[in-house]
Amino acid sequence: MPKVVIQSLENGPNLVLIDGKAGPAFCRCGQSSKKPFCDGTHRKVEFKAAAASTTILS
Ligand code: FES
């Protein structure tokens, strides 16, 4: 079974890591025009949030 980790980047999106490889980045600022994916708008809106990491499969 692959190891799947959701890494919330500081002031940025939720990045999905599958067996250590970066997958899609999901918006968590709510301002992306390409939801559910991050389009970089979090920088323009100066989104602030702490970093975190959660393993959902291992
Ligand atoms: S987190 Fe990047 S656009 Fe929302």
| pLDDT number for residue 40 | 98
Q: For the domain that residue 10 is a member of, what is the CATH number?
A: 3.40.5.90
| Contact (CB, 8 A) for 6 and 47 | no
Asked if the structure places residue 55 within a domain, the reply is no
The dihedral through the CA atoms of 4, 6, 9, 13 has a sign that is: positive
Domains in the chain, number: 1
Q: Is the minimum distance from the CB of 31 to ligand 1 under 6 angstroms?
A: yes
Could you tell me the distance, in angstroms and rounded to a whole number, from the CA of residue 35 to the centre of ligand 1?
9
Structural domain range at position 28: 4-50
Q: How confident is the model at residue 58 (pLDDT cuts 50, 70, 90)?
A: confident
Asked if the structure places residue 39 within a domain, the reply is yes
Per-residue model confidence as pLDDT tens digits over 10-55: 999 999 999 999 999 999 999 999 999 999 999 999 999 999 999 9
Asked if the structure places residue 58 within a domain, the reply is no
| pLDDT number for residue 27 | 98
Nearest CA to ligand 1 atom 2: 38
Closest CA to 10 of 51, 39, 45: 51
What predicted TM-score, i.e. pTM, was given to this entire model?
0.89
Asked if the structure places residue 31 within a domain, the reply is yes
